[in-house]
Structures are given as C-alpha cells and as structure tokens.
Amino acid sequence: MKVSDSLRVDAFSMHIADIQTVQLDQLHALSISVGWPHRAEDWQMLREIGHGIVALDEIGRVLGSGMWFPHGENFATVGMVITSPRLQTNGAGQWLMGHILEAVAGRELSLSATRAARRLYLSLDFQPEKTVFQCQGIARITDAFGNANPDGEVRPLHAGDMEAVVALDAAGYGIERRALIELVELQSAGYGLFRDNALTAFSFCRPFGRGHVVGPVVAANDADAIAVVKPHVERQAGQFLRLDTRAEGGDFATYVSQSGMQVYDTVLTMSLGKTPATAPSTASPVQIYGLATQALG
C-alpha cells in the first residue's frame, strides 16, 4: 500500500518533499531541536552521498527528515530519521519510515537506533544486532598500548592509496563503499598501516559536530586499530574528538577511553535482512573498528 504524501497532525498538515529542496540551515535547525550535533556542513556531506525526504508544514518549516544511503545494488543504511519534539507522539516517525521503506524496497537495510526510536523500528520488523558506543571528549595523548612500535609503517594516506583503502574497507564492511570512501577522503586526514608495502589498516579523521570525528577505522586487530588512530589523537590533543565503535572491551576500547573519548551514549544497530554491516564474512581478515557515522555505518 502506497504511503500518503500528506499527514494531518492536530491542527496542521505536513507534506513530503525531497531533502535536496530545502536550505541547509533548516536541516541544521531540525537536528539542533533534538540535540544532535550535526553542522550544516555535516548535513551537506550526507546529502552528497545519499537520498532523503523532509516533512514540511504549510509554511515550509522542516519538521522531520529521513535519509538512505545505497551501497551496491542490494543494501542501504538508513539514518537522520528525525521528527521535531512536537511530532514525536503523533505518528510522524512511522509516516516518514513508510516513505523510506518504499524508496528502498528490495534492499537489505541497517540503521542505528536511538533508545527513543527502537520501538518504532521493532514495529517495522528491524532486528537488534550490536551496540554502538558513541565515545567523545577532549582528546589527550596517552601511553596506554601506544609505547610499542607497530609491526609495520604508519604513514599519511595519499591519493595513490585509495584503491587499497576501498578494497580493505570492503573486506571489513562486507560490501564496497567506494563513493563514501572517496567523499570522506576529500574531507579528512588519513593514516594507514603498511606491511611489505601492503595496506593492512587505515583510519580517517574529519571535522564533524563539536570538533572532529575519527572514522571509518578498519583493522585486523586492536593493536593495528590503535596504531592508525593514535596519530589523530595526537593531532587533535586538547580538542573535542569523537569515535563511534562497536568494540565493547579489549585494548582498543581501553585506548579510546584513556585518550579522552569516554562513552557518552549508545545506539543499537538494527537490521532488516542479513546485512553486510552486521554479518560480514567470518573469513574477513579485518573488521570495522570505527564507524564513518552512525547514519552511514
């Protein structure tokens, strides 16, 4: 059944529009209204890589949003599903998700659910997968797990490394995300761990929200992940830094915490279908230690 393009809420009506048709400051105001840190520039990055809709009232105010980010032909992540506080108990989230599910019909899906949104996603048959820990704070240099030199060379990534980065990310995530990696690379500083001239781990760090965010981070083990995150911590020491990870314990989680990025909040990865983000091949030599963003995985 097709979802209606309009919704009556109390004394006013809303209608659906393409997210590309509204001003960035309107999207920024929407995320501020629910306490999300996204800057206008962060919204623009997401609009460059994905698709989305907004809910507009009669005078053009943005009261809700939702986006989806295709990766390959059969998979997408869903994110930036926001409804203004006045609409959160009036079915607006269900209405927005109905439009998104129509747009991504036939794809397997993954998303990061806040506590407030989990009931909605469960009602749409999304299944809980893994907890994502939003770690953030003022970065500080720590000797924890950082004294030993890594087995290999850590150096800045260059344009000539991008094919190897795309391939390593695909091995960790389970599907190629070339468009995402290329866009992130343009806005980021990147470091790679090389052994015998082969890339074995990498990380990016870019401006986001209140400061910078580290991600994605792809590595085979905690030690390699620490090796490629450490340069970003050193560069951002004294500044606000964030990293979203599914690592619940171990050396990497300890290093992140001791580097000033304490667990601030959690979201829950949920899936509709068997997604590569939550069910990568057990034969993969690497894994995702840090998400690009909660919306992108």
For residue 281, which phi and psi values (nearest 5 degrees)? -60, 135
2 CB neighbour count, 10 Å cutoff? 7
Q: What pLDDT is recorded for position 237?
A: 98
Q: Residue ranges of the chain with pLDDT lower than 70?
A: 1, 4-12, 86-89, 145-149, 275-283
Do 6-106 and 134-290 show the same overall fold?
A: yes
Q: Are 223 and 145 in contact (CB under 8 A)?
A: yes
280 DSSP assignment: -
Q: What pLDDT is recorded for position 147?
A: 57
Kind of pairing, strands 262-272 and 287-290?
Answer: unpaired
- Rounded to an integer, what distance in angstroms lies between the CA atom of residue 282 and that of residue 290? 18
Could you tell me which of 218, 223, 281 has the C-alpha nearest to residue 246? 218
Q: Are 134 and 244 in contact (CB under 8 A)?
A: yes
Q: Are 75 and 84 in contact (CB under 8 A)?
A: no
pLDDT digits (tens, 9 = 90+) for 129-179: 999 999 999 999 998 765 556 789 999 999 999 999 999 999 999 999 999
- Rounded to an integer, what distance in angstroms lies between the CA atom of residue 39 and that of residue 207? 10
Q: Is 203 helix (H, G, I), strand (E, B) or coil?
A: strand
pLDDT digits (tens, 9 = 90+) for 256-282: 999 999 999 999 999 998 766 555 555
Token pair 């309107």 is at which residue? 26
Question: Fold for domain 6-106?
Answer: Aminopeptidase (3.40.630)
Q: Are 212 and 236 in contact (CB under 8 A)?
A: yes
Q: Are 242 and 214 in contact (CB under 8 A)?
A: yes
CATH class of 134-290: alpha beta
Token pair 């048709």 is at which residue? 21
- Rounded to an integer, what distance in angstroms lies between the CA atom of residue 36 and that of residue 226? 27
Q: What pLDDT is recorded for position 12?
A: 62
Q: For the chain, what are the domain ranges?
A: 6-106, 134-290
3 CB neighbour count, 10 Å cutoff? 15
